[in-house]
Structure formats: C-alpha cells, structure tokens
Amino acid sequence: MAGALNILLTICLLHGVLSADFQIFLPETIEAVAGSCVTIPCSFEIQDKYEKYLNDTCVAIWRKGNNWSSAQDVTSRFIIKATTGDLKNKICTSTMNNIQIADGGSYFFRVQCNNALKYTFYSSVNINVKADPPKPTLSPSELEVEEGASVSLQCSAPAPCPSLRPTVTWTPSLGTSQETLMDNQDKTKVIKSVLNFTASHLHHGQRFSCTAVYRREDNRNVSSVSQRLSAHVKYRPEDTKVSVSPSGPVQEGTNVVLKCSSDANPAVQIYTWYRADPQHETLIHTGPDLTITASRNTGAFLCQAENDLGTGRSNKTNIDVQFAPQILSSSNCTKAAATVSCSCSTVGNPSPRLQWYLDGLSVTHSDKVDISSESLNGTGLRSTITVNLPQELDLSTLFCHSSNSVGSTVRQLNVNSFEQQTYSRFGQGLFPVILAVAVVSLSMNVFYTIYMISLRRKSKQNVMPSEEDTTYMSLDRRDVSPEYGVIGQLPT
C-alpha cells in the first residue's frame, strides 16, 4: 500500500515538472486606440517531448472571454503575424485591425496541431481600447540644472500598432531630436524621442511638452499631449541695467535716484555701484539704489549685480545735467597791425550760443568784421571776432554774450590797453607840428596846450571797466556806421 502511494506521488510530481514547461509570454495589458490596430507580442514554450509535434499542421487559435471554456473564438479577427513556420519557432505574435471599444477584454491563446500537441495557455492578455490615445510620458519629471549644462529630455509614447506608430513633436522646438521605435520589457512597442539642448537662462520657467500624434486606419489624426515639464535653470545675473529718476535732462543741483535691476536665479544678493571715470572705476556705494546731486561734473555710473553663480554688469549710464553757460577766463583779446582779435570761450548744457555786442548793438559778419566759431568738447563753444580799428570806433564797449535755455552770462572784453596805444600814436604824430606852430606864435602854443589838456581828460573818460565786471553798461551811442556789421541791441 505504501509502495503504491509512493509511485502515485512520484507520477504527480513528475507531471507537475513536465506541465511547468508549458509557458506563454504575453503582456498583462495593452492600451489600444479605437479605429487603429493592436499587435499582441506573443511567444511560448512547450515540454521537450512535444517539440517533435511542432509542424506545418499547427495553427494559432484566439478566444475572447473570462475563461477558455466559455470564451468566444475570435481567431478570424486576428492576422497571425507568425506563420506556421513561426509557430514552429514558438512565436505567436498577432495583430487585430480596426479594433473598436467593444473589442476590449481578455484574450487566450491555444496552439493546436493535427497530432498529440494541443495545448491551451491559461495566462491571458487584457486589451484596453479607448477613443483617445494614451498620454506619452516625459522624463525626467523635474528639471533643475545650471546654465550651460547639457540637458536630455525623453518622451515615450506607446505604439500598440507599429504599422501606424505615432509621431512625436516637442514644444518648444529647441534643437535636434531623435526618434526610435523600441521594445518594452513585455515586448510591447514604444516610440522614444530624445531632445538634447544646452540649458540657458532663457529656459528658466519655460514649460516643455511632447505631443504624440496617432493615426487611425481611416487616416484621421488624434493627438495626445503629455504632462508639461517646467525648467528650473540657475544662472548668474543677466540683463543688468540702470534706470534713472527723474529720466531725461535734469538741472544742476537736482537730486537723482539711480536703480539697479538684474535677472538672476538665485536672486541677486549684492548690488555695487561704481563711478566710471575714463581711466578707472571707483566703488562708491552698495545697495540697489543710489541717490546723487546732479552737477556738471557728475560723470558716468555703472552697477554690478552678484549672486552665488557670478556677477553681471550694466552699461555705463550718463546723466544729462543742464546748467547755465559760463564764460571761461581764457577769453581775451590780442592786437596785430591795425586789427584787434578777441576770443570768447563758453561752456554750458544745452550747448550755448555766443553773440558779440559793440556799443550796445549786436555785431554780425561783414567786410570789416570777421566772426568765426568752433565747438569745444561737445558742450562748449569758442567765437573769435576780428575788427579793423578805425579811430572813431570805441572798443571799450565790446561785450561777449553767452546764453542757452537755462540762463545767460555776459563779459566785457579788456581791449582798453589797445585803445590807449592807438590814441598814444595819434598824439605822437601831431607833436612836431605843434612845435613848429609854437616857434611862429606863442599864442598858438598856449592854445595848443589848452587843447591837449582837454583831449587827455576826454581819453580818461573813455577807459573801460575791468574784465571781472560782467554787468551790462548803459550805452546810448547809436552812431556806429552799418559798414561794420553792427545790428540789434545788447540784451537787458
């Protein structure tokens, strides 16, 4: 009795080992798109003793249902991608075309030959049919890199119907992408597209997505968009710039606020201000804001922004400071032969105008009065007037007037010494004649002496004010000849 029991146990164990050699390899679930096709990857193993029965008579049978005994034979719906010869190689991959939502469910496979090999595999595949295609997946799920790093994004889209496999597009399209049809671990197909680019500060906060476009058998398209991925890119300060308030030209003495801003991740930690002189830079302040009092010598400024990754600098910022004109001390007169040349130099912002006045009237260019002008460093002006010296022309009344929209100033040029020389020569020329007349008549000599005293008193009255006196003179003369180009009156 015990021996018979041992034999029965041995037979059962042996049967279990042999039965374990029958295996089928199917995916548990396949996502399919209604109106497209679905391909079921399938392969199997059998017991060694049945290997000889795999021949041309073997066929693949598919049934749909919860179990084989009650399942519906749907073999006609499948195109057995594996031919009879493939079954001989234990490959049962099959395709169902124009799959519909009603076709969803569990499917069983049976290999059946006209011999002793007839076997139903009880592991099934579940086909999940949807009107919309499955969403692709985007990896990595989070992107955090530093500027300049190489980035590789991968988008995977299921391809349940390899003959109508999806195409993948990227938004935004940054550069080259490579698309490949690959096998998953369960042998289902997937399209993988890889986008490679170099991270830039311009990508920070940008949202990336991949779109898989599927085609149905009637050539209609259905698209599916993955979950979007936001890029977090760390970068040093970029686009560092200075804003000025009040903007535009300001008058000298006005308080001006300069603000420094910069785009950076992480945020700027330190702002530094420099005075940008032509030959060197001077650190003058730290902080995002700088307040100054505008002057004509304010110069240019720049700011530097800094975070953990580096620094960024603004361009030089100049403030347009406006001020009333000033006549330079280098303005003077020189004499050559019978002419006097007077030069008047002025600076101001906006650029000033220069006008000459003689005897209270404005002077313009003429045959006997030459006027020329030249710029000085952009905001200055120099004017030179050359005047012939007729004896009756009183140069003690020569003024230089400078003006712009902010204000004006005037200076009387010192030509007094030239006047004295002119009249001195005039006296020397008459002296021999006076001596001759004195020899002839004593009375004439007395008369001449009285005349010379009167003439000297008049000369003293014509002496001009000093150069520092910039006030306007009250001039009543209006008898200067037009041939000297004299027009208009001195401004009051």
Q: Which residues pair with 111 in a beta bridge?
A: 60, 119
> What's the mean pLDDT in 383-408?
82
Strands (E) located in 172-315? 177-183, 189-198, 207-215, 221-225, 229-245, 250-251, 255-265, 270-276, 281-286, 289-293, 300-307, 310-313
Residue 346, classed as helix, strand or coil, is: strand
Look at 314 and 458; give whichever has higher pLDDT: 314
Look at 225 and 49; give whichever has higher pLDDT: 49
Write down the residue that tokens 């804001």 correspond to.
289
pLDDT of residue 340: 84
C-alpha 121/C-alpha 22 separation (Å) is 8
Render pLDDT for 35-94 as a digit per residue (tens, 0 to 9): 999 999 999 999 999 999 999 899 999 999 888 878 889 999 888 764 444 888 899 999
> What's the mean pLDDT in 16-23?
60
321's tokens: 């400071």
pLDDT of residue 1: 42
Q: Give the mean pLDDT of the chain.
A: 79
**131 pLDDT higher than 60:** yes
**188 pLDDT higher than 80:** yes
> What's the mean pLDDT in 217-225?
81
Displacement of CA 459 from its chain's centroid (Å): 73
pLDDT of residue 81: 60
Burial of 14 by CB count in 10 Å (0-12 exposed, 13-18 middle, 19+ buried)?
A: exposed
C-alpha 328/C-alpha 171 separation (Å) is 66
> What's the mean pLDDT in 469-492?
36
pLDDT of residue 201: 92
Residues ≥6 apart with Cβ < 8 Å to 326: 346, 347, 348, 402, 409
pLDDT of residue 392: 62
Q: Which residues pair with 292 in a beta bridge?
A: 256
Burial of 33 by CB count in 10 Å (0-12 exposed, 13-18 middle, 19+ buried)?
A: buried
> What's the mean pLDDT in 330-354?
87
- The H-or-E segment that residue 437 falls in is helix 416-440
Q: Determine the number of helices (DSSP H) and then strands (DSSP E) in the chain.
A: 4, 37
pLDDT of residue 483: 33
Report the range of poorest mean pLDDT among 2-11, 51-60, 169-178, 377-386.
2-11
- Report pTM: 0.62
Render pLDDT for 285-308 as a digit per residue (tens, 0 to 9): 999 999 999 998 888 999 999 999
pLDDT of residue 385: 87
**368 pLDDT higher than 90:** no
Task: State the greatest distance between any 2 C-alpha atoms of the chain, in Å, as a whole number.
Answer: 193
